[in-house]
Structure 1
């Protein structure tokens, strides 16, 4: 599977989880994954367990269950479909490589990329149905291409979510919000009531220096009377001296 240059985005902490659908470029896959000799051995096998063991060894399916069983089932059904259509060895080998490439493109990302996978499948079949070396070869007829497209749609595209769920890592979003302009909560001073009580007690204990207007007026009146008495006494004494 050849990919064009792109910049994939990885999930923090999961370097193998790609959150970006890369552009896929189809190429010729004749004898890419299954050689002519391996196809001869595979044609001699009739039981499903024998086919599974052969495909597991040839395609390198070394995965834990249930991934291993699901992937081998996909390859076995592709081989059986090739036998029903009387495909030649090179045709079945190319079909297995096409199915493998579509599956790898699907599970490359947890995002929904089914449209890209279908377009990629059509490009792969076009590379194997039109004679234009070295870019494409014609090992499938147009009728066979139509049958293969229908098979891919019924066997894989309709269940692509199941394959994606089994073979891709689940991505969980951990969202946290931080408000930079939020004021800090005000702290209450527990000593404030005590200070107020002390101030009130000090105010009550201190002598009052202010006098009311009536008191000032009374004091002024007394002061006026004493001055008049002094003047009168002074005048009386002067008159007595003159006599």
Structure 2
């Protein structure tokens, strides 16, 4: 079944303090020490209802983010905001199967900016400059470097359906001298049919070779023009250079 491929959309950053994880949820998350308990709590908080392996990969992303926040001694509000930033960046990534790595990373940096500069009501200084640097390094190493893997797991695969049309080949639906009579077609020897197929194959091969030769010649000429242009550049007179007097 044909599906419409979504194109990357421009995303507007916004404050995400207590957006997905409220204060009570953070208290429950802080109590969890084992990975299974953390996965269970995060699955409930974010409402993760996905089949494997999507479920396991997404929960692993959230669990590692919680561990990172604990290593950095982040407060509850900082951990909550970072989890929402990770979630928003991931959702921007899997919005389309097309390549949107630049848009995603730009969106992520803009989200961090909203939480590192005091400019209410548009942004707050939740993270200082050192913390922002650590977060950017973490996101790059743990998510951006595996961007294609997340894209492969969470987005549908695209297939290219390529069809070629060759000039000079009669349409199969058009009546020809050979098939003008059904009786003649039925009585046509098998060798003649094989001969027609062989001629058609030869015609297609010649057409392809001619096209490849034409394109190759154009590329060679283009490369020659570029090389000639570079050779003539050093010998060209400078605008401010004066002619020597004899």
- TM-score by length of structure 1 reads 0.69
In structure 1, the partner of 2:208 is none
In structure 2, the partner of 1:187 is 177
1:45 and 1:81 map into 2 onto residues whose CA distance is 14
**Aligned partner (choices 37, 59, 69) of residue 72 of structure 1:** 59
Give ranges in structure 1 of 5+ residues lacking alignment: 1-11, 193-243
1:53 and 1:14 map into 2 onto residues whose CA distance is 34
Matched, 1:13 2:2: yes
- After superposition, give the CA deviation of every residue in 1:84-128 in whole Å (9 maximum; x if it has no partner): 000000000000000000101111111111111111111000000
- TM-score by length of structure 2 reads 0.68
**Aligned partner (choices 35, 45, 57) of residue 44 of structure 2:** 57
State the number of aligned residues: 179
1:98 and 1:170 map into 2 onto residues whose CA distance is 26
CA root-mean-square deviation: 2.1
Matched, 1:97 2:84: yes
- After superposition, give the CA deviation of every residue in 1:13-36 in whole Å (9 maximum; x if it has no partner): 224x41x11111110000000000
After the TM superposition, list the runs of 4 or more consecutive aligned residues in structure 1 that deviate by more than 6 angstroms.
189-192
Give ranges in structure 2 of 5+ residues lacking alignment: 185-246
1:88 and 1:125 map into 2 onto residues whose CA distance is 16
Q: CA deviation at 1:177?
A: 4.6
Q: How do 1:2-151 residues align onto structure 2 when only pairs under 5 Å count?
A: 13-15=2-4, 17-18=5-6, 20-151=7-138
**More strand by percentage:** 1
